[in-house]
């Protein structure tokens, strides 16, 4: 399954690490565009001078880790497509160009299901997408979750539970399922 990851799911660290950890386990093939990466870097710049540099370093690491993930859409494809927010057409065009099955985004209102279906795509929010991966492959997703949880605890010095960290990351349903299954400490 090829999955286009919108900038809004790549920028929050916990969400990104969970999604790309699952991709590393072979649960899906991630896709994004240079413009999506640029949106991530610009959003990180709002944190201060170091935020953008850190994001650009992470983007470079992801490019080496997932060398086939970055895709480019032709301008004529973008001109053919329509979305409620014209600024999101590049995301849809990238998904079409990358032969994706799903766009994972938190921006549901600007990606109407009917329009996506016309292009053979569906939309998922990251919470439900991760929940679906967990239900289909609890072992690998549980391993990724435990790793992300351990790293978050190490970096923050806080003793995170899976549920608490997932709630902070806006992954409530996923966090409840992981906690109920006992797949991560917490």
| pLDDT per position as a tens digit, 76-118 | 999 999 999 999 999 999 999 999 999 999 999 999 999 999 9
If pLDDT is split at 50, 70 and 90, which confidence band does 131 have? very high
Question: What's the mean pLDDT in 181-186?
Answer: 59
Confidence of residue 184 (pLDDT cuts 50, 70, 90): very low
pLDDT digits (tens, 9 = 90+) for 35-89: 999 999 999 888 887 888 999 999 999 999 999 999 998 999 999 999 999 999 9
CA–CA separation, 25 and 133 (whole Å): 11
CA distances from 146 to 44, 47, 138 (A): 25, 27, 12
What mean pLDDT is predicted for residues 22-36? 98
- How many angstroms separate the CA atoms of 58 and 178, rounded? 27
- Kindly list the distances between the CA atom of residue 50 and the CA atoms of 43, 53, 58, in Å, as whole numbers in the listed order: 12, 5, 12
| Cα gap 108→117, rounded to integer Å | 14
Of the candidate ranges 37-51, 133-147, 166-180, the one whose mean pLDDT is the lowest: 37-51
How far does CA 37 lie from the centroid of its chain? 12
pLDDT at 186 over 90: no
Kindly report the CATH class assigned to 1-185: alpha beta
**What band does 6 get if pLDDT is binned at 50, 70 and 90?**
very high
Query: Average pLDDT over the chain, rounded to whole?
Result: 94
- Provide, rounded to the nearest whole percent, the portion of the chain with pLDDT above 70: 98
What is residue 47's predicted lDDT score, i.e. its pLDDT? 83
Q: Tell me, what's the pLDDT at 117? A: 98
What does DSSP assign to residue 5? E
């Amino acid at each position: 399954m090829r999955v286009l990851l919108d900038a809004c799911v790549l920028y929050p660290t916990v969400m990104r690490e969970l999604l790309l950890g699952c991709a590393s386990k072979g649960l899906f093939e991630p896709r994004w565009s240079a413009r999506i990466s640029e949106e991530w870097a610009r959003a990180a710049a709002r944190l201060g001078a170091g935020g953008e540099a850190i994001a650009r370093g992470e983007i470079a690491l992801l490019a080496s880790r997932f060398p086939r993930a970055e895709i480019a859409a032709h301008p004529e494809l973008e001109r053919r497509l329509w979305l409620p927010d014209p600024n999101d057409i590049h995301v849809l065009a990238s998904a079409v160009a990358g032969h994706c099955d799903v766009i994972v985004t938190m921006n549901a209102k600007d990606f109407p299901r009917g329009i996506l279906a016309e292009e053979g795509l569906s939309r998922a929010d990251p919470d439900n997408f991760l929940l679906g991966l967990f239900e289909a492959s609890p072992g690998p997703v549980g391993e990724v979750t435990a790793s992300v949880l351990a790293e978050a605890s190490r970096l923050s010095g806080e003793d995170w539970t899976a549920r608490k960290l997932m709630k902070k990351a806006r992954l409530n349903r996923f966090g409840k399922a992981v906690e109920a299954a006992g797949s991560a400490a917490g």
